[in-house]
Structure 1
Amino acid sequence: MVPDISTGSRTYGLLAYLYGPGRRDEHTDPHLVAAWMPDLAPDPGRDPNATLKQLTDRLDLPVLALPKNRRPAQHVWHCPVRTAPGDRHLTDAEWAEVARRIVHATGIAEEGDDKACRWIAVRHAEDHIHIVATLKREDGRSPRRHQDGIRAQAECRKIEKEWGLQILNEGDRTAAQRPTSAERAKAERTGRTEPPRETLREHVRQALAGAADEDEFFRRLTEAGLRLEKRVAPSGDVLGYKVALPGDRNRDGEPIWFPGSRLAPDLSLPRIRQRLADGPPEDEPTIVMGPAPRAARPAGARRDATHVAEQAVTVLAGDDDAAGAAQLIGVGELLDAVAQTSPASTRKELAEAARAFERATRSHTRAEHADHRALRSAARGIVRAGNALGKGEDGGTTAMLLSTMVLVTIAAIRWHSARGHAQQAAAARQAAQHLRAAYQTSSATPMKAMREQGRRLPAPVRDRYAHTVKAALPGQADHVLREPGWDAIAATLDQAERAGHNPDALLQQAIEWRELETADNVTDVLVWRLRRIGKLPATADVPRTRAPRRTPPLQPRAPKPQAAETAARHDTISPRRPGPRR
């Protein structure tokens, strides 16, 4: 059960929407289910003689009774309450009970208070109601509604437990602000796929990923095509910033600005400065002139990031809460960097993974930002290297990195679950699903090539590598050797041996690097670990065999009659004398 509290200034406009057909004719049978005093609240949905104007006047009466200078600018309190998908449909009587409990818990109208605010509850769908109240009591005072959103959430959790509904995750006030209903409606009218708030939040996160300093962050925002306005003090110091989408304007034609703090709590300028306080990641220069060096190209940047991500898994498995929280922030930046530079085949899934994991980067656990410099440096390297191709070494190292990122999100799920962060754990779980889908897409081609190469190995060589696997993984060897990925392991061990490695020692090192119990696919994880540790190519090195050139059988040809004459003529020409002009 989800409450969503907001305030406004037009009682009549809100009631006209609630009793109207809706934006897609989705409102059915709008009517009152509860009110502060049912006898005084006309119901335009059931009473043909009642009007919206009458209901508006009754609700606004305590506000209008005050002098204009005492009337609140935002006097309308609005709280939709919706059941979770899959919950049973509540009756009108049950929804009336929900409404009374919500207004009591939030301080709008406590039970037994005959001077409380006026309120109603309108139902126009099976799965939710809208509670509307005016924010002046009958005695002219304002209600005590401090932290009304938290109190409404807590009351909904009680109702869920008592009525056998789905128990949703409790919030901790660290989530980003969701788009309002007005923002969603405007996005639909203007043909946008999402409200500008969400688009801006993603652009700001991506601009921050691996940024060396404040100037680079602001430069990336403008390069992304956003409108940027800084709030500057008389001294010249920048105090804050706000961004807007080009073309997103209000009714007066002015840009609709969003300060960073309204996009997400950690995107305010003071919080960004805390993240950037340690200077450029790994002491890299803030401005790079000319093309990126070869090591910073997409494949090399992703290979380096894989090693850093594996270290993050180790930190998240430890007991240092501050270090773990810092790692999660860095992992979020790394995901943002990968999403904006990924091939088209995986870009959508990775963008969804980054959006989902954004919620997992914030909790009340204080982070030590110096602990995520390596992850920020990896994100910076990926952004600087540019877009990766979906094939060849770029495609292979992308799959290598995504395989590790799945393990990182699993570690994040465990970290948050152990600390009671239900929403963050759910967000990390959602990100893991998107990462798995992206990994399946990116790994299909390189893994297929490795399996084909492994199947072409001589039988004695395959048997020797099978014995190596049995010796290193005695408890899991039978399962590994039955998986299709076993052929890829054999191909990788063969490549490693030809590169000068000891296959037994390299496999043992890959197994000891991290536990394999959390891996979705043990063979895939081992393949990418072996290739990263052994510094092998991320793709199979199948030698190309040239097909023999077919030559037609030689046919006896009759000698040309001029052949002897031409030969005799060439014999008479001096080598120093120029030939005849043609």
Structure 2
Amino acid sequence: MASFDGMSPDPGRDPNASLKDLQKLLDQPVMALAKHARPAKHVWHTSVRTAPKDRTLSDEEWADIARRIVAATGIDPGDGQLGCRWAAVRHADNHIHIIATLVTEDGHRPDDYRSGARAQAEARLIEKELGLHEVAPGDGTAARRPTSAERHKAERQGRERTAREELRETVRRAVAGASSEEEFFDRLADAGLLIRKRVAPSGDLLGYKVALPDDRNKDGEPVFYPGARLAPDLSLPRIRERWSGNAQVNPTPQREDTVRTGPGVPAAARRRTASAAWQAVLVVEHGDDAVAAAHIAAAGEVLDALAKTSAAHTRRELRDAATAFERASRCHVRAVRGHDRALRQAARELAHGGPALGRGEDGATTAMAIDMLFFLITAAAHWHAKKGHAQQAAAARQAAEHLRSAYQEAAAHPLGVLYQRGRRLNRSLLQQQTVVLREVLPELAEQILAEPSWYALAATLAEAEVAGHDPASLLAGTVGRRELDTADSVSDVLVWRLRQMADLPADTSEVPEHSAVKGPFAMRPAASRPTSSNRYRGEEAAGNTP
């Protein structure tokens, strides 16, 4: 153990020492003050941890790290300056806990302003000097992490997450696609949260805070969190920015429980989401930074709305994608709102369209939407990486991984249906689509023909022709919108692009007998098609996307 004087009692190694002994020693400067002068909160605590793949540090190295951290934060600056009493305890090979009393030996408050940021800066230097895993520096845009007290409280109550984390997700989902304060607060109330609004004497609304009904303090009162304490972009002024600038996407918002629902509504919302996401990819890649930042932020709303309304088999991965991308939705590039209206409208329609059952057109359009969102989130990762936003880029890449998994779950059945239809195309029609493919994509044709999803693509081209499209022109237009040679399954990508552009049903598992497509297709029960283990190669999540 290391400490301010190098001689503090060590309860972990000395059987004659106790935590009470250590506490009394550290608290002596506090107890020396008059009772009325003692600060109510005088304990400072932090933990320092190495990465899983780092080497095991020695006791001497940990002791030096502790001394550097307390010096950098102003807790015990050294160089003859009066500091606070502190001790560092090594709980395991990979981490230490540092605890200090925030009263100096002469009874004053230490200069510990922004101690957290100062500790982080020193930790980055230590990582480099000791050859440890180097963590990307923060930029002040991250949401506040739960405190140790909040985590311990959640454990005692048997919660999977802390109240802060649950509230942050609920508020994020409430704001996704909302177009007014009234609608936002209605959604919070419908989610079961307790709400307190801060109102100026003039009657103007200044802010809000929320609480879980069953999260109480020792006095039995609800524990409220202001929006800004949940995340920087959840303060009321920042939320208002989302629907400022342009005309409202829906000037007369409806309450969630009165919004129209019915067959096809979730599927239609997912189709429009796919279209909006694809257009947003081009903006993020080629647009002005402020407009790109707005689209990236709005993409977070779409992910929240999609996760909220997804079927059970994709819900967890989509929820994890939304949670991961939350970090990527904020940066120091100030978003110019208004141009992102199509994405926000898509989020609104997802929320109002209600839950999708994950079957038929719902399931297929979910796969289509996830496919397009994968490209958008990957474009966001690439954009952040170019700007040097390391944490946001890493968060977007993590979200893309979750979207990949969700896509595999959502796409298996609809692509299986199309695969079987393609397998049953008559030989001349299949040969016709092969000729089209070789003419339009000569450099990728052989790769596509060897992929399991080629039959799904052939079926889609045949269906587009029956619907009145020229397959060659449609395929050329689809390919021209983005390069494809980095895709692990080019066929998968083209199937969804073609079905979106040609406005074909996303799922054709139940084609009516009078349909014009009945000739090329044998009406047999669908069977699953062979699938590869990875939808895309790993490098695409780092910015090299199809």
Query: Same fold by TM-score, threshold 0.5 exceeded?
Result: yes
- CA displacement at 1:164 relative to structure 2: 1.6
* Distance in structure 1 (CA, Å) of the matches to 2:354 and 2:367: 17
2:411 corresponding residue in structure 1: 443
Contact 1:281 1:380 in 2 (8 A): no
* Distance in structure 1 (CA, Å) of the matches to 2:126 and 2:291: 37
2:156 corresponding residue in structure 1: 189
Q: Output aligned runs, 1:106-117, within 5 Å.
A: 106-117=73-84
Q: Output aligned runs, 1:235-314, within 5 Å.
A: 235-278=202-245, 281-287=248-254, 292=260, 297-314=265-282
- Structure 2: tracts of 5 or more residues without a match: 514-521, 525-546
* Distance in structure 1 (CA, Å) of the matches to 2:261 and 2:217: 45
2:178 corresponding residue in structure 1: 211
Matched, 1:119 2:79: no
2:106 corresponding residue in structure 1: 139
- CA displacement at 1:523 relative to structure 2: 1.1
Contact 2:264 2:361 in 1 (8 A): no
Q: Could you report, residue by residue, the CA deviation over 1:166-212 in whole angstroms, capped at 9, with x for unpaired residues?
A: 11121111111111111111111111111111111111000000001
Give the root-mean-square deviation of aligned CA atoms: 1.9
- CA displacement at 1:519 relative to structure 2: 4.0
Contact 1:212 1:280 in 2 (8 A): no
2:497 corresponding residue in structure 1: 529
TM-score, normalised with respect to structure 1: 0.85
1:174 corresponding residue in structure 2: 141
- CA displacement at 1:282 relative to structure 2: 2.8
Matched, 1:221 2:191: no
- CA displacement at 1:248 relative to structure 2: 1.2
1:362 corresponding residue in structure 2: 330
Matched, 1:89 2:70: no
Amino acid at match of 1:145: D
Single out whichever of 503-512 and 183-192 deviates more from structure 2: 183-192
- Structure 1: tracts of 5 or more residues without a match: 1-32, 548-582
1:570 corresponding residue in structure 2: none
SS at match of 2:173: helix
Q: Could you report, residue by residue, the CA deviation over 1:22-60 in whole angstroms, capped at 9, with x for unpaired residues?
A: xxxxxxxxxxx2111113x12233333333333222211
Question: Relative to structure 1, is the Cα distance of residues 130 and 293 closer, same or farther in structure 2, using a 3 angstrom cutoff?
Answer: closer
SS at match of 2:206: strand
SS at match of 1:317: helix
* Distance in structure 1 (CA, Å) of the matches to 2:295 and 2:208: 26
Q: Could you report, residue by residue, the CA deviation over 1:270-322 in whole angstroms, capped at 9, with x for unpaired residues?
A: 11112222476434531279652779811111111111101111111125110
1:410 corresponding residue in structure 2: 378
Contact 2:141 2:232 in 1 (8 A): yes
* Distance in structure 2 (CA, Å) of the matches to 1:77 and 1:293: 53
Contact 1:211 1:280 in 2 (8 A): no
Contact 2:418 2:460 in 1 (8 A): yes
Percent identity of the aligned residues? 55
1:331 corresponding residue in structure 2: 299
Contact 1:325 1:368 in 2 (8 A): yes
SS at match of 1:371: coil
Q: Whose radius of gyration is greater, 1 or 2?
A: 1
Amino acid at match of 2:416: K
Q: How many residues align?
A: 514
Question: Relative to structure 1, is the Cα distance of residues 517 and 257 closer, same or farther in structure 2, using a 3 angstrom cutoff?
Answer: farther
1:422 corresponding residue in structure 2: 390
Matched, 1:315 2:283: yes
Contact 2:297 2:329 in 1 (8 A): yes
* Distance in structure 1 (CA, Å) of the matches to 2:73 and 2:489: 49
- CA displacement at 1:540 relative to structure 2: 2.7
Q: Could you report, residue by residue, the CA deviation over 1:437-477 in whole angstroms, capped at 9, with x for unpaired residues?
A: 11000000000000110011112211111111111112111
Amino acid at match of 1:151: R
* Distance in structure 1 (CA, Å) of the matches to 2:523 and 2:368: 30
* Distance in structure 2 (CA, Å) of the matches to 1:48 and 1:481: 73
1:54 corresponding residue in structure 2: 21
Q: Output aligned runs, 1:392-411, within 5 Å.
A: 392-411=360-379
1:466 corresponding residue in structure 2: 434
Q: Could you report, residue by residue, the CA deviation over 1:217-241 in whole angstroms, capped at 9, with x for unpaired residues?
A: 0000010111112122233222211
1:563 corresponding residue in structure 2: none
